[in-house]
Amino acid sequence: MGSFQLEDFAAGWIGGAASVIIGYPLDTVKTRLQAGVGYGNTLSCIRAVYRKESVFGFFKGMSFPLASIAVYNSVVFGVFSNTQRFLSQNHSREPEASPPHTLSNLLLASVVAGVVSVGLGTPVDLIKIRLQMQTQPFRERNVLVKILLLEMSEILLTTFSSRIFIIL
C-alpha cells in the first residue's frame, strides 16, 4: 500500500458532484427563504420560483458549484485520508503491517482537512449564494467578477476567522 491514494480524491469528486445535482434545487429554495424576500413558506417559494423562472430557476448558477464542490470534496477527502494514512504509517514500526488509526491521528487529520475545507469552502459558498439569489436574467460571469473583485477579500477575512474559530 502506497502512502498516497488517488482513490480518495476520486471518491470525493463523485460524492461532491452527486450531492450538488441532487440537493441544489432545495438549496436554492432554502437560500431564497433565508434571504427573506417575501416568500411565505417553502411551498410558496417553490411555486414562485417555478412560475417566474421555470424549472431552470431551481438550477440557476449550478455550473459553478458543480465544478467547485466536486473539486472541494475531492481535496478534503484526499487531504483527510492521506494525512491520516501518513500519520498512521509514521507511528507504525512495521511498514508492511496495516497501522491502527489512533484517536490523535484522527484528530490531527480532521484538523488539517478542516483548515483546508475553510480555505476552499468560504469563496465557494459566497459565490454559490450570490448566484442562487439572482432573480434577473442569468448573468453568471458578471456575478463572479463582481464577487471576486469587490467582496472576496473582506468576506474571506471575516468568514475565515469565524469558521476557523468554530473548528478549533
Per-residue model confidence as pLDDT tens digits over 88-100: 877 655 555 555 6
Residue 104 domain-assigned? yes
Residue 129 domain-assigned? yes
Residue 27 domain-assigned? no
Residue 30 domain-assigned? no
* CA 126 remoteness from chain centre: 10
* pTM summary value: 0.59
CB 163 within 8 A of CB 122: yes
Residue 37 domain-assigned? no
Domain assignment of residue 13, given as a range: 7-21+59-167
Residues in the chain: 168
Residue 111 domain-assigned? yes
Return the residue matching grid coordinates 484517536.
Answer: 103
Mean pLDDT confidence for 46-54: 91
Residue 40 domain-assigned? no
Neighbours of 168 (CB within 10 A): 8
Residue 121 has pLDDT above 70, yes or no: yes
Q: Could you give the number of structural domains in the chain?
A: 1
25 vs 159: which has the higher pLDDT: 25
Mean pLDDT of the chain: 77
Which residues, in sequence order, are CB contacts of 28 under 8 Å at separation 6+?
Answer: 49, 57, 58, 59, 60, 132
Q: What is the pLDDT of residue 146?
A: 65
Taking the CA of residue 111 as centre, how many other CA atoms within 13 Å lie in the half-sphere pointing to its CB?
Answer: 9
47: pLDDT confidence band, cut at 50, 70 and 90?
very high
